[in-house]
Amino acid sequence: MADTVKQYTEREEIKQRTAMPLLWISMVGMGMAFAGLSSAYIIRQADTDWLTFDMPQPFYISALIIIASHGTMITAQKAVKKNQLITVKNMVAASLVLGLLFVGSQFYAYSYMVEHGLHLVGTSISSSFMYVLTGFHLVHLFAGLIVLSVTLFQTSRNKYNAENHLGLSLAATFWHFLGVLWIYLVLFLAFIR
């Protein structure tokens, strides 16, 4: 029995030490993919078929929604350190709802683009790039929504507290990364034209 407890404790210690660095490695990889797409966007602008258009307004709404979700996750992180578990649950739930609103705003932005003649294919390479960059982010955001859903489930089971909140910390770090990445994309697409 003592050996089993010792093995479990050792596994938990390894998980505590390695989980966050592994998450950071994966986020650096995702960041590099977006850096590559951003570079291609800049290089492709020199071609004669590049069409310049204003950033669709709904993408700015998405930015406000993701900023609000940062606030709710920061509040959840602070609350867990004070063992305010109901606040943690409410703030993770609010982050998930804001994430779903973000997805809705993205699809609204795509319909806005179509209404203004900006299609994924057939309009110009510049509109295609906008769809690819924002769509690639949206795929990653779906992963973030899954993470938030699992975190909310674990929070409702009172898994996290002031002494044990690694899962919440990992979820918050990934969610903040997605938010920062979205703000970067909005600024990049708005000013690099």
The model's pLDDT over 141-155, given as tens digits with 9 standing for 90+, comes to 999 999 999 999 999
What does pLDDT average to over the chain?
91
pLDDT of residue 114: 93
Q: Which long-range contacts (CB under 8 A, 24 or more apart) does 28-36 make?
A: 30/140, 30/177, 30/181, 31/181, 33/136, 34/133, 34/136, 34/137, 34/181, 34/184, 34/185
Q: Which long-range contacts (CB under 8 A, 24 or more apart) does 12-20 make?
A: 15/166, 16/166, 19/166, 19/170, 20/166, 20/169, 20/170, 20/173
> Residue 22 — φ and ψ, nearest 5°?
-65, -40
Q: What integer is the mean pLDDT of 117-129?
A: 84
Q: Which residue range is the domain that position 179 belongs to?
A: 2-191
144, 174 Cβ separation under 8 angstroms: yes
Q: How many domains does the chain have?
A: 1
| Range in 16-20, 24-28, 83-87, 133-137 the model is least confident about | 16-20
Q: What integer is the mean pLDDT of 162-187?
A: 95
151: domain CATH number? 1.20.120.80
- Full-model pTM: 0.90
The amino acid that residue 103 corresponds to is V
pLDDT at residue 7 greater than cutoff 70: no
pLDDT digits 0-9 by tens, 75-105: 999 999 999 999 999 999 999 999 999 999 9
Distance CA(128)–CA(79), nearest Å, equals: 42
pLDDT at residue 12 greater than cutoff 80: no
